[in-house]
Chains A and B, each alone.
Chain A
Amino acid sequence: MKEKLQDLYNKNGTRKVLASLISILIGLVVGAIVVIAVGLSKDTITTQGMWDGVKLIFAGILSTGRNAAGVLTWGYNAQSLGNMLFRATPLIMTGLSVAVAYKTGLFNIGAPGQYLMGTMASLMIALSIPTSSVPAWLVWLLAFLGGCLAGALWGAIPGALKALLGINEVLACIMTNWLAANIVTWAFDVSNFKNMVENTKSGYVYKTSFNGVQTAKMGMDKLFPGSQVNGGILIAILVAILVYILINKTTLGYELKACGANRHAARYAGINDRRDIILSMAIAGALAGGGAALYWLAGNTEFYWSTYQSLPSAGFNGIPVALLAVNNPIGVIFTGIFMAMLDIVGVQLTGYTAYNEYITDVIISVIVYLSAFSLVIQMMLPKWKKKGGPNANAEPAAKTAPKPETEKGDKEA
């Protein structure tokens, strides 16, 4: 038994997970420190309020609000948990998007743009095909695939610019992000999808439920009554597993990884590196676009279309989700849920304390910062040496272990 534990501990994958967990812990502690520091410097924030803030940061997901006496109460909160899973859906998808591109050595900072294009395509398809003549589930499927396709096309642009013209993909992605923001605004501006019925909501597009198109609940509403969750989270998890298979078990996945490791060596080995770079970005784009489709097709949220001055945070947050999961598609499921949990914590902080939701973004950024040198953290972890075997630490580097990763991540999520 002890032997097995030692093996597990010395595995590369386990150490990666441990490094991620340490990053998360430090991030939360830094968040708590900021809360305490601000609390001490502002006299309007009482010690009790400060303490409540710290408690919410660590366990906000289990908060059930304040009781009549104004004291925070704790317990199983089905609504928060369900909303967490609902918000995790697009994060998992954009996280996968960033992770896939990263495997090919590309930094997909273009996820927000791909997300926006996916939003536009899926909303327009879902709202324009009348459900009176076409069954709603078919419209949903078309809208979802349309969202994926739009994202794929938008992702392929920086991919092609990189592969064919040698333009830095980070730069091309940033440019296409802002182009997408303008195009989406333009397209909805001239469209007739603007919500004119509820005139208090100017600037919003109709919910897809106006056309009767909604993601199936798949029993999730029974598990988490009163929340926004739907079957989208199950689809996202399924997609993550498919991506894992694509990357680790197929020829294409191998080619993509080879390109990421060394583009020139890959070409020498007969791999079409240009095609693979474009393909990788297209897949990444499809994932981000699909994430947007899953979010908006839920039919319970409205899209603010005049978005030319801002990019969706769900796109950018795919970066920390992927980094924290060390670009492992299975790990992305758990880190996506973790990020969504922080999101809920932010809502709780805004609702119940003098603090606001931006502290959770601070926590996320600290975690990303730490994950930049997770290798150093991994090296600092003490080695658990076997007494006799000289090969105890000589695990092959390529062998990552997804299984322990899921177990560990499970606890965190």
Chain B
Amino acid sequence: MTFLIQQTLLYAVPLMIVALAGVFAERSGIINLALEGIMIFGAFIGVLFVRNMQSVQAFADAYANKQWLTLQGLELLAMLTAAAMGALFSLLLSFASINLKADQTIGGTALNLMAPALVLFLIRILANQNTLQMASGDAASWFMLKKSTFGIPKKQDIGFLGETFINKVYLATYVCIILFIILAIILYKTRFGLRLRACGENPQAADSLGINVYKMRYAGTTISGALAGMGGFVYALTTTNCTANGDVAGFGFLALAVMIFGNWNPLNIAGASLLFGLFKCIAAAYASIDLNGDGVYLLAQIGISSHLYRMLPYIVTLVVLAFTSKKSRAPKAEGIPYDKGTR
């Protein structure tokens, strides 16, 4: 059970934060199809940052002397860098779709094509192979929180909650959850959030009340880019052992799906991404999931092909969408370039 919860969170948290990224863009009126591309870019930047920082004496010493606080600081810095570069990358989309009134779907597709190409081009030149890894060690030894991190002996049992939420987890997961809550509150309970949402529903009305629609849309996409870039790095850190290879296994698109079937609403999105994370986790590790701890690996013993487990997340999404899409309500003005002249 502990394993199941931890694995589900690993998949659910990047999905959740990137889906929220989608919400910020779409609520301001811009369809951000580029989430996947920005994630790929963010993952690359984060890993590159970690790789370069590992050779810095201060961090190398911290690793040698097991100063975990410094290493967690490095992790946060990498997240921040990935977010900043993700935001920068997303400016390409904002510029095309806000200033030049371009087709947002095509602009997003362009970024989705650009990110893996650019990233692979650079990785091949930097590392002479198709995967960028950490300079030394792995994500678990550098960044993972373990019992020993808190000075608890390895053998000691710290209870179900402790084992699940403190042992073998990443700080990034919790940072993302906290950020998710804060941003959801900002979107719904502040003046800025209200104005942002107004621009996605009726930009003409918002403009007539003195809100700068272009600025709000820039804000929405830039926050979106930052979150997606950070989500990309968190994905790379927690599920692929801090490596970047120009691929995030379609997580950006899945986040888009989570956003739509979460109905552009943070609370529903959190639930949707947990559900989705659960199925992703089952697909990835069904053979080693021991539900009640009696040593029987039920899912592996039913004898269903692993291929079917891998398809489950997608089938579930389609089925859920089939039932919910009639009720779903996208922001009214999304995808439509704002033109001051139209009525």
Interface residues of A (CB under 8 A from B): 34, 38, 42, 107, 109, 161, 165-168, 170-172, 174-176, 178-179, 182-183, 185-186, 189, 308-310, 316, 319-320, 323, 354-356, 358-362, 364-366, 368-369, 371-373, 375-376
User: Is the beta-carbon distance between A362 and B117 smaller than 8 angstroms?
Assistant: yes
22 residue pairs bridging A and B, Cβ less than 8 Å apart: A166-B326, A168-B325, A171-B321, A175-B257, A175-B317, A176-B314, A182-B314, A189-B307, A319-B113, A354-B125, A355-B121, A355-B125, A356-B120, A356-B125, A361-B117, A362-B121, A366-B114, A368-B110, A369-B111, A372-B103, A372-B106, A373-B100
Tell me which of B109, B113, B253, B322 contacts A167 (CB under 8 A): B322
User: Is the beta-carbon distance between A179 and B113 smaller than 8 angstroms?
Assistant: no
User: Is the beta-carbon distance between B121 and A34 smaller than 8 angstroms?
Assistant: yes
Q: Report Cα–Cα, A316/B36, bound state, in Å.
A: 14
Residues on A with beta carbons closer than 8 Å to the beta carbon of B325: 165-168
Residues on A with beta carbons closer than 8 Å to the beta carbon of B66: none
Min C-beta distance of A161 to chain B, whole Å: 7
Residue of B nearest to A38 (CB): B125
User: Is the beta-carbon distance between B113 and A165 smaller than 8 angstroms?
Assistant: no
Min C-beta distance of A328 to chain B, whole Å: 16
Residues on B with beta carbons closer than 8 Å to the beta carbon of A182: 307, 310-311, 314
Residue of B nearest to A370 (CB): B110
Q: Report Cα–Cα, A372/B102, bound state, in Å.
A: 5
User: Is the beta-carbon distance between A372 and B96 smaller than 8 angstroms?
Assistant: yes
Residue B162 interfacial (CB < 8 Å): no
User: Is the beta-carbon distance between B109 and A319 smaller than 8 angstroms?
Assistant: yes
User: Is the beta-carbon distance between B120 and A358 smaller than 8 angstroms?
Assistant: yes
Beyond A186-B307, A358-B121, A373-B96, is A175–B107 a contact (Cβ under 8 Å)?
no
Q: Report Cα–Cα, A354/B247, bound state, in Å.
A: 23
Interface core residue of B103, B118, B121 (most chain A CB under 10 Å): B121
Residue of A nearest to B124 (CB): A356
Q: Report Cα–Cα, A101/B81, bound state, in Å.
A: 39
Residues on A with beta carbons closer than 8 Å to the beta carbon of B310: 182, 308
Residues on B with beta carbons closer than 8 Å to the beta carbon of A361: 113, 116-117, 120-121
Q: Report Cα–Cα, A365/B117, bound state, in Å.
A: 8
Residues on B with beta carbons closer than 8 Å to the beta carbon of A358: 117-118, 120-121, 124
Residue B215 interfacial (CB < 8 Å): no
From DSSP, what is the main secondary structure of chain A's interface residues? helix
Residue B92 interfacial (CB < 8 Å): yes
How many residue pairs at the A-B interface have CB separations less than 8 Å? 132
Beyond A365-B113, A368-B106, is A175–B314 a contact (Cβ under 8 Å)?
yes
Min C-beta distance of B160 to chain A, whole Å: 34
Min C-beta distance of A319 to chain B, whole Å: 6
User: Is the beta-carbon distance between B314 and A365 smaller than 8 angstroms?
Assistant: no
User: Is the beta-carbon distance between B318 and A172 smaller than 8 angstroms?
Assistant: yes
Residues on B with beta carbons closer than 8 Å to the beta carbon of A178: 250, 311, 314
User: Is the beta-carbon distance between A369 and B322 smaller than 8 angstroms?
Assistant: no
User: Is the beta-carbon distance between B107 and A369 smaller than 8 angstroms?
Assistant: yes
Residue B228 interfacial (CB < 8 Å): no
User: Is the beta-carbon distance between B107 and A372 smaller than 8 angstroms?
Assistant: yes
Q: Report Cα–Cα, A357/B257, bound state, in Å.
A: 32
Beyond A356-B125, A368-B106, is A165–B114 a contact (Cβ under 8 Å)?
no
Residues on B with beta carbons closer than 8 Å to the beta carbon of A316: 113
Q: Report Cα–Cα, A171/B117, bound state, in Å.
A: 23
Residue B139 interfacial (CB < 8 Å): no
Min C-beta distance of A318 to chain B, whole Å: 11
User: Is the beta-carbon distance between B125 and A185 smaller than 8 angstroms?
Assistant: no
User: Is the beta-carbon distance between B118 and A362 smaller than 8 angstroms?
Assistant: yes
Residue of A nearest to B309 (CB): A182
Min C-beta distance of A132 to chain B, whole Å: 33
Residue B33 interfacial (CB < 8 Å): yes
Min C-beta distance of A346 to chain B, whole Å: 10
Q: Report Cα–Cα, A335/B60, bound state, in Å.
A: 51
Interface core residue of B116, B307, B308, B315 (most chain A CB under 10 Å): B307
Tell me which of B96, B100, B101, B307 contacts A308 (CB under 8 A): B307
Min C-beta distance of A135 to chain B, whole Å: 35
Min C-beta distance of B5 to chain A, whole Å: 25
Residue B256 interfacial (CB < 8 Å): yes
Residues on A with beta carbons closer than 8 Å to the beta carbon of B117: 358-362, 364-365
Min C-beta distance of B110 to chain A, whole Å: 4
Residue of B nearest to A371 (CB): B106
User: Is the beta-carbon distance between B307 and A362 smaller than 8 angstroms?
Assistant: no
Residue B6 interfacial (CB < 8 Å): no
Residues on B with beta carbons closer than 8 Å to the beta carbon of A172: 318, 321
Considering only residues 120-137 of chain B, those with a C-beta below 8 Å from chain A are 120-122, 124-125
Residue B305 interfacial (CB < 8 Å): yes
Min C-beta distance of B97 to chain A, whole Å: 8
Residues on B with beta carbons closer than 8 Å to the beta carbon of A360: 117
Tell me which of A161, A319, A365 contacts B318 (CB under 8 A): A161
Q: Report Cα–Cα, A355/B125, bound state, in Å.
A: 7
Q: Report Cα–Cα, A114/B245, bound state, in Å.
A: 25
Residues on B with beta carbons closer than 8 Å to the beta carbon of A42: 125
Mask of B286-326 contacts with A, CB within 8 angstroms, 1/0: 00000000000000000001011011001101100110011
Residue B202 interfacial (CB < 8 Å): no
Residue B249 interfacial (CB < 8 Å): yes
Residues on A with beta carbons closer than 8 Å to the beta carbon of B247: 310
User: Is the beta-carbon distance between B110 and A309 smaller than 8 angstroms?
Assistant: no
Residue of B nearest to A319 (CB): B109
User: Is the beta-carbon distance between A161 and B322 smaller than 8 angstroms?
Assistant: yes
Q: Report Cα–Cα, A376/B321, bound state, in Å.
A: 36
Residue of B nearest to A311 (CB): B250
Beyond A359-B121, A368-B106, is A168–B260 a contact (Cβ under 8 Å)?
yes
Tell me which of A107, A174, A189, A368 contacts B257 (CB under 8 A): A174
Considering only residues 73-123 of chain B, those with a C-beta below 8 Å from chain A are 92, 96-97, 100-107, 109-111, 113-114, 116-118, 120-122
Interface core residue of B100, B249, B325 (most chain A CB under 10 Å): B325
Min C-beta distance of B88 to chain A, whole Å: 15
Beyond A172-B318, A323-B106, A358-B121, is A365–B114 a contact (Cβ under 8 Å)?
yes
